[in-house]
């Protein structure tokens, strides 16, 4: 799977001290734990990954052949 950063940095990322680059690095480094459908947003998936010893959920949506990260 190919993941790309979202369109803009969200306040929720800033509040957690995260960046899209950190999420993409965690995916590349093999720190993705699981991938589940969103229970509240049809068409979105939740990517569960570990960054810095903490588990984060990064919602994402399909965009053609890639997955666009929304926030974390």
- Kindly report the length of the chain: 72
**pLDDT on residue 53:** 94
Q: Domain map of the chain by residue range?
A: 3-69
Q: Identify the burial level of 63 via C-beta atoms within 10 angstroms of its C-beta, where 0-12 means exposed, 13-18 middle and 19 or more buried.
A: exposed
**pLDDT on residue 32:** 94
**pLDDT on residue 1:** 79
**pLDDT on residue 16:** 84
**pLDDT on residue 4:** 86
Rounded average pLDDT over 50-63 = 94
């Amino acid at each position: 799977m190919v993941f790309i950063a979202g369109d803009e940095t969200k306040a929720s990322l800033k509040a957690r001290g995260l960046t899209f680059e950190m999420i993409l690095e965690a995916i590349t480094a093999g720190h993705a734990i699981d991938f589940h459908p969103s229970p509240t947003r049809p068409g979105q998936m939740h990517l569960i990954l570990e960054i810095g010893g903490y588990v984060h959920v990064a919602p994402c949506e399909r965009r053609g052949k890639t997955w666009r990260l929304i926030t974390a």
